């Protein structure tokens, strides 16, 4: 049985698409007709797709997985936050922080910082700060609460994303596709359904349409959570029932008949067995020691006789070895080589060169220049 019907979707305005000039040709299979320049969505296909998405949500919730709801547009913020809180699922209704999925460890650090500030406020450390520092910490806490407060319980990556208006939330879709996280989304006639795993063709601008689809999805999630709770209760009660069954079906043992040995006390039995136990323990602890001693005693005379017989032979061999001398090896002497003296080389005397004295150059005396007296001025 489908979770919704044609009439409910029609009353909520789920069938209204965008203008014809804004349409995406990939949405053609989900478009019924065009009227007054507006595309009309085929609600029969919408019913099928909503059931398919709801079944996926139910299975994820039953397995204990987290589903992240993303809707930052004005008309969807309050609806998504209210419905997601009802089923205890994380959501993002403010700005999508870039790298929230691909850089998840950094986002977790910011969430831990917010938790640290909360701890400061509870243990009294916040009161020791100065007035200006208090104001800064309070503003920082409010900012973190606004952007990341709804995902404070998200300790690991979500198993799926539910998105409203994939054109506005394109960053979330891209990050989910990069990490192979399935995406379930409400897709209007102006959007590309290619990167979406589970398409719900519907009007993503009307508040009634968003509320109706969110009701169906959250109802499926609550069913999955309730089934998970019942399974846990059954698993907890299963061991108790097994124990009670084993107790009820256990065989009754008849009492033993008394015998003549019942009058002997345990102390008397222990005393009677004590000497035998001691002997057995000694034999078991050192079984090889007695055997080794006996073998050594039996072989000792033979060893002494063999050593005495071999002593003279060894002494004679030592004497012969000491007498033998290694033969001398003749050493050849190399003949002496006559060394001829080198012939004397006659040294020619160098002839003396006569040095002629340089001729004296006559020095002419400079003629005296007669200096005429300057005429007197009248």
- The bridge status of strand 183-187 relative to strand 160-164 is parallel
Q: Note whether residue 241 is domain-resident.
A: no
Per-residue pLDDT tens over the stretch 310-344: 655 555 654 554 444 445 555 555 556 555 666 66
* 200, 232, 264 - which closes a domain: 232
Output the CA angle 21-27-28, nearest 5 degrees: 85
| DSSP helix/strand/coil, 14 | coil
Assess whether pLDDT exceeds 90 at residue 187. yes
316, part of any domain: no
- Other residues' Cβ atoms within 10 Å of the Cβ of residue 250: 8
Residues 90 and 118 in one domain: no
State the CATH number of the domain containing residue 112.
1.10.287.610
Instruction: Give yes or no: residues 166 and 183 share one domain.
Output: yes
My answer on whether 63 and 14 are in the same domain is yes
Query: Domain for residue 78, yes or no?
Result: yes
| Range 101-105 average pLDDT | 92
Structure tokens at 198: 């589970």
Query: Which range has the worst mean pLDDT, 26-30, 210-214, 235-239?
Result: 235-239
User: Rounded to whole angstroms, what are the CA distances from 227 to 214, 220, 222, 321?
Assistant: 20, 11, 9, 102
Residue 115 zone, left/alpha/beta (φ > 0; ψ -120 to 50; rest): alpha
pLDDT at 313: 56
Distance CA 70, CA 198 (A): 15
Can you state the percent helix, strand and coil of the chain, rounding each to 5?
55, 10, 35
* 161 touches 184 (CB < 8 A): yes
Domain boundary, last residue among 216, 232, 248 = 232
Boundary (domain end) residue, out of 154, 177, 195: 154
In a domain, 338, yes or no: no
- Does 255 reside within a domain? no
Q: Residue with structure tokens 């001691």?
A: 278
Let me know whether 194 and 213 are in one domain: yes
- 171 found inside a domain: yes
Mean pLDDT on 250-274: 49
Distance, in Å, from the CA atom of 83 to the CA atom of 212, rounded to the nearest integer, reads 11
- For residue 353, pLDDT over 70 is answered with no
pLDDT score, position 152: 86
Q: How confident is the model at residue 61 (pLDDT cuts 50, 70, 90)?
A: very high
The answer to whether position 19 is within a domain reads yes
Provide the phi-psi class of 161: left if phi over 0, else alpha when psi is between -120 and 50, else beta: beta
> Are residues 220 and 123 part of one domain?
no
Select the more confidently predicted residue: 372 or 10.
10
Tell me, yes or no, whether 122 and 88 share the same domain: no
Provide the residue range defining the domain that includes 119.
102-154
> Do both 59 and 164 map to the same domain?
yes
Give me the sign of the Cα torsion angle 177, 182, 187, 193: positive
Smallest CA-to-CA distance from 72 within 160, 258, 204 is with 204
HEC readout, 262-325:
HHCCHHHHHHHHHHHHHHHHHHHHCHHHHHHHHHHHHHHHHHHHHHHHHHHHHHHHHHHHHHCC
Average of per-residue pLDDT values in the chain: 77
Residues in the chain: 378
Q: How confident is the model at residue 91 (pLDDT cuts 50, 70, 90)?
A: very high
The closest of 186, 235, 242 to 69, measured between CA atoms, is 186
| pLDDT of res. 264 | 47
CA distance 285 to 276: 14
With cut-offs at 50, 70 and 90, classify the pLDDT of residue 278. low
Is residue 149 domain-shared with residue 175, that is, in the same domain?
no
Q: Which residues pair with 67 in a beta bridge?
A: 160
The enclosing H or E element of 68 equals strand 67-70
d(CA 237, CA 234): 5
CATH number at residue 31: 3.40.50.10490
Same domain, residue pair 186 and 49: yes
44 pLDDT band, cuts 50/70/90, is very high
pLDDT at 240: 57
DSSP state of 96: -
178 and 90 within one domain: yes
Domain count, the chain: 2
Confidence band for 359, pLDDT divided at 50, 70 and 90: low
- The pTM of the full predicted model, rounded to 2 decimals, is 0.61
The reply to whether 70 falls in a domain is yes
Predicted local confidence at residue 269, as pLDDT? 53
* Residue range 188-202, pLDDT digits in tens: 999 999 999 999 999
Decide which of 224 and 327 is more confident.
224
Same domain, 71 and 177: yes
Give the position of tokens 């987290």.
66
Residue 113 makes CB contacts below 8 A (sequence gap 6+) with: 144
Q: Which helix (H) or strand (E) holds 134?
A: helix 131-148
39 and 119 housed in the same domain: no
Counting residues of the chain whose pLDDT is more than 70, the rounded percentage is: 63
């Amino acid at each position: 049985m489908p979770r919704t019907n044609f009439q409910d979707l029609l009353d909520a305005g789920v069938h209204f698409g965008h203008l014809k000039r804004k349409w995406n040709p990939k949405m053609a299979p989900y478009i019924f007709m065009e009227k007054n320049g507006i595309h009309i969505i085929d609600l029969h296909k919408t019913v099928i797709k909503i059931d398919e998405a709801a079944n996926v949500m139910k299975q994820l919730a039953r397995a204990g997985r987290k589903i992240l709801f993303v809707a930052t547009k004005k008309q969807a913020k309050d609806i998504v936050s209210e419905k997601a809180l009802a089923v205890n699922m994380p959501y993002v209704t403010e700005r999508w922080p870039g790298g929230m999925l691909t850089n998840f460890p950094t986002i977790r650090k910011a969430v831990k910082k917010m938790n640290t500030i909360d701890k400061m406020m509870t243990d009294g450390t916040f009161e020791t700060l100065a007035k200006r520092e208090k104001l800064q910490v309070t503003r920082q806490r409010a900012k973190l609460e606004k952007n990341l407060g709804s995902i404070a319980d998200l300790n690991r990556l979500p198993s799926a994303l539910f998105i409203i208006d994939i054109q506005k939330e394109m960053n979330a879709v891209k990050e989910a596709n990069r990490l192979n996280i399935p995406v379930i989304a409400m897709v209007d006639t102006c959007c590309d359904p290619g990167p979406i795993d589970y398409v719900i063709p519907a009007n993503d601008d009307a508040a009634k349409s968003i509320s109706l689809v969110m009701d169906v999805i959250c109802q499926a999630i609550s069913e999955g959570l309730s089934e998970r709770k019942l399974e846990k209760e059954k698993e907890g009660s299963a061991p108790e029932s097994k124990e009670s069954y084993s107790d009820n079906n256990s065989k009754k043992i008849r009492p033993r008949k008394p015998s003549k040995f019942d009058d002997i006390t345990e102390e008397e039995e222990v005393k009677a067995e004590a000497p035998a136990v001691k002997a057995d323990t000694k034999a078991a602890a050192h079984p090889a020691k007695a055997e080794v001693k006996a073998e050594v005693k039996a072989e000792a005379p033979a060893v002494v006789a063999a050593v005495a017989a071999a002593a003279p032979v060894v002494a004679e061999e030592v004497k012969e070895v000491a007498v033998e001398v290694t033969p001398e090896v003749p050493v050849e002497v190399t003949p002496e080589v006559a060394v001829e003296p080198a012939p004397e080389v006659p040294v020619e005397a160098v002839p003396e060169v006569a040095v002629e004295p340089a001729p004296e150059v006559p020095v002419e005396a400079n003629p005296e220049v007669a200096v005429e007296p300057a005429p007197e001025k009248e």
